[in-house]
Amino acid sequence: MTSDSAGQPWDAAGYAAHAPFVPELGAPLVALLAPRPGERILDIGCGDGTLTVALAAAGAAVVGVDASPEMVAAARARGLDARVADAAALPFAGEFDAVFSNAALHWVPDHDAAVAGMARALKPGGRAVGELGGFGNVAAIATALAAVMGRRGFADSVLPWHFPTAARFAERLAWHGFTVESCALTPRPTPLPTGMSGWLETFAAGIFGRLPPDDRTAARDEAVALLRPALCDEDDNWTADYVRLRFVARLTA
């Protein structure tokens, strides 16, 4: 994953079990990037490297970065060049033909710094293709978590995600020298293979980690109960209320 995520722990095996939809739904993004043999590509928030492998399979030389040492270790185990790095402080300058990021940048508090780093990492004319949670993403889940944590004395600011509007994100891209080809929000209701408990275990562990250990399970169960009427059908199938922001941009030559 990417930079500051409010103490969010990451486990590659748990992520693969509870959130296989993340790389699966990112596959069309790889096609949109259309990596070419010989290109150098930076994968920001590479996680365990599932999509990084797809980029490399096209013949590109790929560097993956992630703030989680556990995820970087999993990516390296696949034989990838993966490095621990903060997406808001990327240590690259003019090295890459393309930047790619899937389902990661909404964990970065400072999108301005992240976009500046993307621009700095690219060669003139390089392209950026990515997707992140956009405005309205997991709105019901966020509301339930804010309520559960609020009852325990924590403010809404405990939530670690940053979901921009398309207009604001496009503006940031333009500020840092990108010509924006597309930047739009798309609702994407997403089935959860291990239910809401699995989703919360994967993506909200850092939130519940602020609580005493003996209260964490109760807090999670309370959030699940709040969300059941809105996100669980009569057959006990859970669907998360995702809204994605996808962007394609090119750095001005």
pLDDT per residue over 60-115, tens digit each?
Answer: 999 999 999 999 999 999 999 999 999 999 999 999 999 999 999 999 999 999 99
Phi, psi of 201, deg, nearest 5: -60, -35
DSSP conformational letter for 137: T
Phi, psi of 22, deg, nearest 5: -65, -55
3-state secondary structure of 235: coil
Q: Read off the tokens for 151.
A: 């009852």
For residue 247, which of 71, 105, 63 has the smallest C-alpha distance? 105
CATH 3.40.50.150, domain 12-138+160-193+241-251, yes or no: yes
pLDDT by residue, tens only, the chain of 253 residues: 444 444 778 777 777 776 676 778 788 999 999 999 999 999 999 999 999 999 999 999 999 999 999 999 999 999 999 999 999 999 999 999 999 999 999 999 999 999 999 999 999 999 999 999 999 999 999 999 999 999 999 987 789 999 999 999 999 999 999 999 999 999 999 999 999 999 999 999 999 999 999 999 999 999 999 999 999 999 999 999 999 999 999 999 6
pLDDT of residue 18: 67
Q: How far apart are CA 210 and CA 45, in angstroms?
A: 24
pLDDT of residue 40: 98
By DSSP bridging, strand 122-133 and strand 96-102 are parallel
User: What is the pTM (predicted TM-score) of this model?
Assistant: 0.92
DSSP conformational letter for 73: H
Mean pLDDT, rounded, of the chain: 93
* Max Cα-Cα span within the chain: 56
Going from N- to C-terminal start, the domains of the chain cover: 12-138+160-193+241-251
pLDDT of residue 4: 42
Task: Calculate the alpha carbon distances from 189 to 78, 232, 243, 244 in Å.
Answer: 30, 12, 8, 10
Task: Calculate the alpha carbon distances from 184 to 24, 164, 190, 215, 243 in Å.
Answer: 20, 11, 18, 39, 10
